Structure 1
Amino acid sequence: MMKHTDKKTLSKGVKYLAGSLPLVMIGPSVLYNAFNNQNHPWYIPVLVFGIIATFAAIFLMFKGIMTMVNSFFGKRS
């Protein structure tokens, strides 16, 4: 029997990847700006925000790719 792609799960994975796209741009940009302004009083909060945004982007990309793979090949048992 031929398995077909689960379109509902595939769309969920695409949404995760779409959510990670802005964070991929924002996270490193904020980190760059934080490291260029180390003597500014807002250095630590901006640095923490940049680190969180970067890790969130990585997490959402991983989750999106894994969700899409599960939609193509079926869930692992």
Structure 2
Amino acid sequence: METKKTDKIILFRGIKLLVFAALSLFMGPTLMTMAMSDKENSLYIPLLIVSCLICVFAVFLIFKGIRTIMSSMFKKK
């Protein structure tokens, strides 16, 4: 009977995705706060759009990172 082992390369790839997600989780709302604080600025709309996209990207990275970590632990080669 074959023992299931964690694939460390895939595990580190998932951890790296979660680190980028954590950075995006801080950067997105910070940019959004900066955009909302000065609505008369000419970069209000583009900065708001970019910050919303970064927030959505952070959520995507969280799901992809957790899925990658789970596949490294429970899938066979």
**Same fold, TM exceeding 0.5?**
yes
RMSD: 1.3
1:53-72 matches, within 5 Å, as 53-72=54-73
Number of equivalenced pairs: 75
Q: TM-score, normalised by structure 1?
A: 0.87
Deviation at 1:54, TM superposition (A): 0.7
Deviation at 1:19, TM superposition (A): 1.3
Q: Where do 5+ consecutive residues of structure 1 fail to align?
A: none
Identical counterparts, % of pairs: 35
Q: Where do 5+ consecutive residues of structure 2 fail to align?
A: none
1:20-59 matches, within 5 Å, as 20-59=21-60
- The structure 1 segments of at least 4 consecutive aligned residues displaced by more than 4 Å after TM superposition are none
| 1:57-77 per-position Cα deviation (integer Å, ceiling 9, x unaligned) | 1111111110000011116xx
Deviation at 1:39, TM superposition (A): 2.2
